[in-house]
Structure 1
Amino acid sequence: MSSVSQIPTTFRRNKEECHGLVRVLSLLSCLGSTLNDDVLGLIVFKADLQDPKANLISWNEDDNSCCTWVGVKCNPITNRVYELVLDGFSLSGRIGRGILQLQFLTKLSLSNNNFTGSINPSLAHLESLQVIDLSDNNLSGPIPDEIFQQCGSLREISLARNKLSGQIPDSLSSCSTLAAVNFSSNQLSGPLPTGIWSLNGLGSLDLSDNLLEGEISKGIDGLHNLTEISLRNNRFTGQLPDNIEGCLLLKLLDFSKNSLSGKLPDSLQKLTMCSSLSLHGNSLMGELPEWIGEMRSLETLDLSANGFSGRIPVSLGNLKLLKVVNFSKNVFTGSLPDSMINCKSLLAMDFSQNLLTGNFPAWTFTLRLQKIPLSKNRLVGIIEHPSSTSMDASYQNLQVLDLSNNAISGEIPFEIGVFSSLRLFNMSRNSLGGVIPASVGELKAICVLDLSSNRLNGSIPSEIGGAVSLKELRLDNNFLAGKIPTQIEKCSSLTSLILSQNNLIGPIPAAIANLINLQTVDLSLNNLTGSLPKQLANLPHLLFFNVSYNHLQGELPAGSFFNTITPSSVSGNPSLCGSAVNRSCPAIVPKPIVLNPNSSSDSSVAGSFSPNLRHKKIILSISALIAIGAAAFIALGVVSVTVLNFRVRSSTSRSAATLTLSVGDDFSSSPTSDANSGKLVMFSGDPDFSAGAHALLNKDCELGRGGFGAVYRTVLQDGRPVAIKKLTVSSLVKSQEDFEREVKKLGKIQHPNLVALEGYYWTPSLQLLIYEFVSGGSLYKHLHEGQGGNFLSWHERFSIIVGTAKSLVHLHQKNTIHYNLKSSNVLIDSSGEPKVGDFGLARLLPMLDRYVLSSKIQSALGYMAPEFACQTVKITEKCDVYGFGVLLLEVVTGRQPVEYMEDDVVVLSDMVRGALEEGKVEECIDGRLQGNFPPEEAIPMIKLGLICTSQVPSNRPDMGEVVNILELIRCPSDGQEELE
Structure 2
Amino acid sequence: MLLCLCISLLLLLLSVPVVHSAYPTFNDDVLGLIVFKAGLIDPQSKLVSWNEDDDTPCNWLGVNCDPLSHRVTGLALDGFSLSGHVGRGLLRLQFLQSLSLSNNNLTGPINPDLPRLGGLRFVDFSHNSLSGSVPDGFFQQCGSLSYVSFAGNQLTGELPVSLSSCLTLTQLNLSSNQLSGELPSGLWNLRSLQSLDLSYNYFEGEIPLGVSNLYDLRSISLSNNRFAGELPGDIGSCSLLRLVDFSGNSFSGRVPETLQKLNSCTYLRLGRNSLTGFVPGWIGELRSLESLDLSANRLSGRVPNSIGSLDQLKELNLSTNQLTGGLPESISNCPNLVSLDVSSNRLTGNVPQWLFKTGSALQQLQVLDLSSNVFSGEIPSNLGSRSSILVLNMSRNQLFGPIPPSVGGLTMAHEVDLSSNLLSGSIPSEIGGATSLLELRLNHNSLTGNIPADIQKCSPLTALILSENNLTGQVPAAMANLSSLQFVDLSSNNFTGSLPKDLTNLSHLLSFNVSHNSLEGELPVGGFFNIISPSSISDNPSLCGAAVNRSCPSVHPKPIVLNPNSPNSSQSPSAAASNLSHRKIVLSISALIAIGAAAFITLGVIAVTLLNIHVRSSMSRNPPAVTFSAADDYSCSPSTDPNYGKLVMFSGDADFVAGAQALLNKDCEIGRGGFGIVYKTSLRDGRSVAIKKLTVSSLTKSQDDFEREVRNLGKARHFNLVALEGYYWTPSLHLLIYEHISSGNLYKHLHDDSNCLTWRQRFGIVLGMARGLAHLHQMKIIHYNLKSSNVLIDECGEAKVGDYGLARLLPALDRCVLSGKIQSALGYMAPEFACKTVKITEKCDVYGFGVLVLEVVTGKRPVEYMEDDVVVLSDMVRGALEDGRVEECVDEKLKGNFPAEEAIPLVKLGLICASQVPSNRPDMEEVINILELIQCPADGGQEVG
Q: Same fold (TM over 0.5)?
A: yes
Percent identity over the alignment is: 43
Whether the 8 Å contact between 1:322 and 1:346 is mirrored in structure 2 is yes
Given the alignment of the two structures, is residue 471 of structure 1 paired with residue 438 of structure 2, yes or no? yes
In structure 1, list runs of 5 or more residues that go unmatched: 14-31, 81-103, 596-624, 630-635, 660-679, 681-688, 694-712, 723-748, 753-781, 785-791, 818-832, 887-894, 912-916, 922-950, 956-975
1:407 alignment partner, one of 356, 359, 374: 374
Residue type of the alignment partner of 2:126: A
SS at match of 1:267: helix
Output the CA distance in 1 between the equivalents of 2:582 and 2:690. Answer: 53
Residue type of the alignment partner of 2:426: S
- Tell me the residue number matched to 2:594: 652
Given the alignment of the two structures, is residue 386 of structure 1 paired with residue 354 of structure 2, yes or no? yes
CA RMSD of aligned residues (A): 5.3
Residues 255 and 360 (structure 1), Cα distance of their counterparts in 2 relative to 1, 3 Å cut? same
Whether the 8 Å contact between 2:41 and 2:82 is mirrored in structure 1 is no
Output the CA distance in 2 between the equivalents of 1:813 and 1:720. Answer: 23
Given the alignment of the two structures, is residue 169 of structure 1 paired with residue 135 of structure 2, yes or no? yes
Output the CA distance in 1 between the equivalents of 2:822 and 2:52. Answer: 67
2:259 alignment partner, one of 261, 281, 292: 292
SS at match of 1:802: strand
SS at match of 2:340: strand
2:122 alignment partner, one of 141, 152, 156: 156
Output the CA distance in 1 between the equivalents of 2:482 and 2:191. Answer: 61
State the number of aligned residues.
705
Whether the 8 Å contact between 2:36 and 2:88 is mirrored in structure 1 is no
- What's the CA shift for 1:655? 3.1
Rg comparison, structure with higher value? 1
- What's the CA shift for 1:145? 2.0
TM-score normalised by structure 2 residue count:
0.64
SS at match of 2:312: coil
SS at match of 1:394: coil
- Tell me the residue number matched to 2:694: 804
- What's the CA shift for 1:647? 6.6
SS at match of 2:180: strand
- Tell me the residue number matched to 1:376: 344
- Tell me the residue number matched to 2:906: none
Higher relative contact order (CA 8 A, sep 6+): 2
Residue type of the alignment partner of 1:804: L
Output the CA distance in 2 between the equivalents of 1:864 and 1:136. Answer: 32
5 Å-filtered alignment, 1:313-462, equals 313-368=280-335, 369-386=337-354, 391-395=359-363, 397-462=364-429
- Tell me the residue number matched to 2:657: none
Whether the 8 Å contact between 1:261 and 1:282 is mirrored in structure 2 is yes
- What's the CA shift for 1:721? 13
Output the CA distance in 2 between the equivalents of 1:642 and 1:414. Answer: 74
SS at match of 2:276: strand
Residue type of the alignment partner of 2:128: N
The more displaced of 315-324 and 536-545 is: 536-545
Output the CA distance in 2 between the equivalents of 1:639 and 1:856. Answer: 50
Deviations 1:871-925 (A, max 9, x none): 5764599999x99xx9xxxxxxxx99977332454789999xxxxx97999xxxx
1:900 alignment partner, one of 844, 865, 868: 865
Residues 41 and 220 (structure 1), Cα distance of their counterparts in 2 relative to 1, 3 Å cut? closer
Deviations 1:430-459 (A, max 9, x none): 011121122222222211111100111111
- Tell me the residue number matched to 1:868: 833
SS at match of 2:520: strand
Output the CA distance in 2 between the equivalents of 1:919 and 1:342. Answer: 34
Residues 158 and 54 (structure 1), Cα distance of their counterparts in 2 relative to 1, 3 Å cut? closer
Whether the 8 Å contact between 2:211 and 2:234 is mirrored in structure 1 is yes
Residues 858 and 425 (structure 1), Cα distance of their counterparts in 2 relative to 1, 3 Å cut? farther
The more displaced of 362-371 and 864-873 is: 864-873
Whether the 8 Å contact between 1:564 and 1:859 is mirrored in structure 2 is no
Residues 801 and 357 (structure 1), Cα distance of their counterparts in 2 relative to 1, 3 Å cut? farther
5 Å-filtered alignment, 1:453-852, equals 453-590=420-557, 648=590, 651-657=593-599, 659=600, 802-804=692-694, 807=697, 810-811=700-701
Output the CA distance in 1 between the equivalents of 2:24 and 2:511. Answer: 75
Residues 9 and 559 (structure 1), Cα distance of their counterparts in 2 relative to 1, 3 Å cut? farther
2:68 alignment partner, one of 61, 69, 77: 77
Residue type of the alignment partner of 2:137: S
Output the CA distance in 2 between the equivalents of 1:285 and 1:718. Answer: 68
SS at match of 1:297: coil
Residue type of the alignment partner of 1:77: L
Output the CA distance in 1 between the equivalents of 2:296 and 2:450. Answer: 40
Residues 856 and 305 (structure 1), Cα distance of their counterparts in 2 relative to 1, 3 Å cut? closer
Output the CA distance in 2 between the equivalents of 1:404 and 1:258. Answer: 29
- Tell me the residue number matched to 1:134: 101
- Tell me the residue number matched to 1:237: 204
SS at match of 2:272: coil
Residue type of the alignment partner of 1:653: I
Residue type of the alignment partner of 2:593: S
Residues 224 and 896 (structure 1), Cα distance of their counterparts in 2 relative to 1, 3 Å cut? closer
Whether the 8 Å contact between 2:66 and 2:73 is mirrored in structure 1 is no
- What's the CA shift for 1:654? 3.8
1:184 alignment partner, one of 132, 135, 151: 151
Deviations 1:325-362 (A, max 9, x none): 00111010001000111111111010100000001333
Deviations 1:558-599 (A, max 9, x none): 23322222211100001111122111111112357999xxxx
- What's the CA shift for 1:809? 9.1
In structure 2, list runs of 5 or more residues that go unmatched: 10-22, 563-567, 572-577, 617-641, 646-670, 682-687, 710-732, 737-806, 852-859, 877-889, 895-917, 925-940
- Tell me the residue number matched to 2:5: 9
Whether the 8 Å contact between 1:555 and 1:585 is mirrored in structure 2 is yes
Output the CA distance in 2 between the equivalents of 1:285 and 1:643. Answer: 92
Residues 485 and 568 (structure 1), Cα distance of their counterparts in 2 relative to 1, 3 Å cut? same
Residue type of the alignment partner of 2:68: I
